[in-house]
Amino acid sequence: MSDLMLTAKVLNTLKNYQIDAKDILLHSPIDLSFDGEYIKGYLVVTEQKIAVCTMALPKGTIHFFRNAQSGDDLIAEEPGEYDTAIYELSDIAHLRIDTFVGSNVLSGEYKGEHISIAAFTNRYQQQMNVLVRKLRTYLHGGELVAEEEVQEDNEKTSGSGKSKRSIFGRTLKYFLKYKSLIVVLILTYIVNGSMNIAWPYLTGTVLFDRVLGADDSFLSEFGLAGKLGTALLAVALTMLLVRLLQALSNYLQIFVMAKLSSTAIRDIKNDAFDAMSRLSLSFYVNKQTGGLMTRVLSDSDRVRNFFIDGLPMIFVHGITIVVTFVIMFRLNWKMALIACILLPLLVFMTVKLRPGLWILAGKRHRAEKAVSGKANDNLTGARVVKAFGQQDEEIKRFARPSNNLKNAEIEITKLRNKFAILYNLVQEVSSIWIWIAGVLFVLKTREIELGVLITFVGYVMQLNGPMNFFAWIFRMWSDSINSAERLFEIMDAIPEIQEAEDPVELKDPRGEIELDNVTFGYRIGRPVLKEINIKIREGEMLGIVGRSGAGKSTLVNLISRLYDVNEGSIKIDGTDVKDLSLRDLRRNVAMVSQDTYIFMGSVAKNIAYGNENASRADIIRAAKLASAHEFISRLPDGYDTIIGASGKDLSGGEKQRISIARAILANPKILILDEATASVDTQTEKAIQHSLEYLVKGRTTLSIAHRLSTLKNADRLIVIDGGRIVEEGTEEELSRIEGGIYRTLLDLQNKSMALNTEF
């Protein structure tokens, strides 16, 4: 029984819940209970509901996994009854699949509460990924694709869930937007193709048989009877005109092609980049920069190659072949039949070889991504590589993905050569047959004239171009559609952080923050924060203390909504952050993180990153408040000094002070300092602390610090341990708690400072 089929018992069970077979749009098998026991079950989706049908299996049931000879055959009898859970789609949000060792859990929010919907092994992971992706699109206003299309996708793709036909059509739309350029391009193809078809006829039949053969009846049609020289001149001028039109159409074709391809690919890159910028932070956690760059740059170029150099020429060369054979059949059907007798073999072998190109294109992309990722890691971490003397080791590590890419390219070349050999063999055999048969017809049977034979040979030779084109177009097709699929995966990815349909604007923010029973984990079942309850008053400075990994940074990430809570709520000025406009939220919540990033550009532009309309005076004022003005003034061009990507020209403390100046200039109502002084020396820290005393006035500030001295001015402190708030109070109150975590950390730091003073 196929994994994509629903049994009669399941369908009968669903009828009890007013779900008919015709209502089912998507479904996938599931095979685990939440207790980890193997079961038989299905997840079914209609326009209004999700139904989960599960059946416990008797002990001793044999389970078959991936690559087994049989699937569900031994349990197809369904020994029990299905238990069914029904969920209304309108009440479901934030669907996600959490992957564990050999198992997966589909979860989400239902009526505001977290729920686990279904569990399944890796056997059904691919089908469930397709289902969830389509369902997410539907929940965010897209269309829910019917099951027939899902099955069609599974038949036509290699694990992607998208049909090649739909990818092709979607990509083509980027080019069809520029209709005027398309029309001009088509006209150039028509002119070029017409001239190519006319040329062999002019140089063969017309020149040899009609003119040089002194066919007066032909010449008289043009009023040139007995005027061979004039006729030759007319033919020569016609041939010159044909070549001129070919050259002009080729030039115009190249120009229009360049403009159309560059414009369409620009749109694709912009859409891919725009999609990536809208995706949530979790999307980037497990992605290598090099791999993403490969998608945006290399993949978009491969899309262009086919849709500009390939697709139009399919029609041009296809029409050329058809028209050529029509003319050849009209000239002499026997010779034409000899010329095309091997075409059925060519079509058969092409169909057999083509699927391998799709697989190899995907293999090469993975190898390219590994090479790009490794190169990017090595370049961005060049300082660490050299500091630890790992240059030789990195070369060895790079050799493996590079060798894999080489092997993938060789495999593609081998398969491409099979196409080339096949097409060239057909060309050469056809040419030889035409010469042999033509000579026999001319000398023995007199069925054709010499000019007709030359015309035939000219047409056969002219077919070399189209035949060579079709020898490599299938590789270009596989590369292009494979690449387009990866680009659309980015564009179609649904951000986990979604803005409300009618977001609330944060006007005149006060900066009051309330966390109500907040629980959050990056993976289901592994909470980092547990039942956090705290209210931060307007203008209050809250210090957050705890051991490494306690959840301090996670807490402030939730407030700025880089992630959404699993349970509970976070409110700013009484409004849930999920209901706030993301633009207003991010504009009024600024973060200075321990991980600073400096963009390639001038110092002034880096400081003004969050407020591009800031004046030079405002930039300098922010730098002074961040104690950055002094070192910036010493740079070669001051605030106009160009600093490299990631701020490699600056020390850690200098980068941190620019980051603080950036936050100051943004003028937020809520300021988050996540180890803001971690990378500066004691003297600089004192200067920054003095600046922060001014900065925090009138702002709600959350300050995370391991160096407890930086929190001496905090109105209140909380201590997080094990994902919970375990201590709360002023610095003085917490320091008096014997055996408390804050007291322990304070004592350890005091002892460390005492040791440093002694030495």
Which pLDDT tens digit goes with each residue over 349-381? 666 766 666 677 667 767 777 777 677 667 666
CB 135 within 8 A of CB 26: yes
CB 576 within 8 A of CB 613: no
* Those residues with Cβ within 8 angstroms of residue 151's Cβ, 6 or more apart along the chain or in another chain: 4
Handedness of CA 155, 158, 163, 168 (dihedral sign): negative
Phi, psi of 337 (to 5 degrees): -65, -40
pLDDT mean over 747-752: 74
Please tell me the least confidently modeled range out of 6-15, 233-242, 428-437, 715-724: 428-437
pLDDT mean over 325-335: 78
pLDDT mean over 669-682: 74
Which ranges in 279-342 belong to alpha helices (H)? 281-285, 289-293, 300-304, 311-331, 333-339
CA proximity to 282, closest of 97, 495, 428? 495
For 31, the enclosing helix (H) or strand (E) is: strand 26-32
CB 576 within 8 A of CB 569: yes
Name the DSSP letter for residue 729: E
Summarised one tens digit per residue, pLDDT across range 167-189 is 888 888 888 888 888 888 888 87
pLDDT at 645: 61
Summarised one tens digit per residue, pLDDT across range 265-275 is 888 888 888 87
CA proximity to 705, closest of 586, 628, 592, 570? 592
pLDDT at 68: 46
Cα(592)–Cα(341) distance, rounded to whole angstroms?
A: 74
Say what the alpha-carbon torsion angle 254, 259, 260, 266 is, to the nearest 10 degrees.
140
Strand-pairing partners, residue 221, are none
Q: Which residue has the higher pLDDT, 279 or 670?
A: 670
Q: How many CB atoms lie within 10 A of CB 9?
A: 16
Tell me the CA distances in angstroms from 508 to 258, 511, 611, 669, one per residue in order: 51, 9, 18, 9
- Percentage of residues of the chain with pLDDT beyond 90: 4
pLDDT at 353: 66
Please tell me the least confidently modeled range out of 46-50, 239-243, 381-385, 490-494: 381-385
Cα(470)–Cα(629) distance, rounded to whole angstroms?
A: 64
Inter-helix orientation angle 228-278/179-201, to 10°: 150
Name the DSSP letter for residue 71: -
3-state secondary structure 614-627: CCHHHHHHHHHHCC
- Percentage of residues of the chain with pLDDT beyond 70: 77
CA proximity to 676, closest of 725, 626, 723? 626
CB 700 within 8 A of CB 708: no
Cα(202)–Cα(242) distance, rounded to whole angstroms?
A: 10
Q: What is the mean pLDDT of the chain?
A: 76
SS3 content of the chain, % helix, strand, coil (to 5): 60, 15, 25
Cα(715)–Cα(627) distance, rounded to whole angstroms?
A: 24
CA proximity to 264, closest of 172, 333, 346? 172
Summarised one tens digit per residue, pLDDT across range 41-52 is 999 999 889 999
Strand-pairing partners, residue 643, are 601
pLDDT at 525: 60
Structure tokens that stand for 337 in this block = 């039949």
CA proximity to 203, closest of 230, 240, 228? 240
CA proximity to 586, closest of 276, 281, 269? 281
Cα(559)–Cα(568) distance, rounded to whole angstroms?
A: 12
Which ranges in 533-577 belong to alpha helices (H)? 552-559
Phi, psi of 364 (to 5 degrees): -65, -40
For 50, the enclosing helix (H) or strand (E) is: strand 49-56
Distance, CA of 719 to chain centre: 40
CA proximity to 108, closest of 417, 474, 566? 566
Cα(257)–Cα(262) distance, rounded to whole angstroms?
A: 8
Say what the alpha-carbon torsion angle 472, 477, 479, 485 is, to the nearest 10 degrees.
180
Cα(92)–Cα(113) distance, rounded to whole angstroms?
A: 9
Q: Which residue has the higher pLDDT, 252 or 206?
A: 252
Instruction: Reply yes or no on whether the pLDDT at 393 is more than 70.
Output: yes
Instruction: Reply yes or no on whether the pLDDT at 431 is more than 80.
Output: no
Name the DSSP letter for residue 74: G
Banded model confidence at residue 198, pLDDT cuts 50, 70, 90: confident
One-letter amino acid at 348 equals F
pLDDT at 566: 81
Q: How many CB atoms lie within 10 A of CB 241?
A: 11
Please tell me the least confidently modeled range out of 113-122, 190-199, 620-629: 190-199
CB 208 within 8 A of CB 454: yes
CB 495 within 8 A of CB 280: yes
pLDDT at 119: 92
Q: How many CB atoms lie within 10 A of CB 693?
A: 11
pTM score: 0.58
Banded model confidence at residue 118, pLDDT cuts 50, 70, 90: very high
Return the top range by mean pLDDT from 255-259, 314-318, 440-444. Answer: 255-259
Where does residue 516 rank: exposed (0-12), middle (13-18), buried (19+ CB within 10 A)? middle
Vertex 17: Cα angle to 14 and 23 (nearest 5): 65
Instruction: Reply yes or no on whether the pLDDT at 205 is more than 70.
Output: no
Cα(30)–Cα(34) distance, rounded to whole angstroms?
A: 11
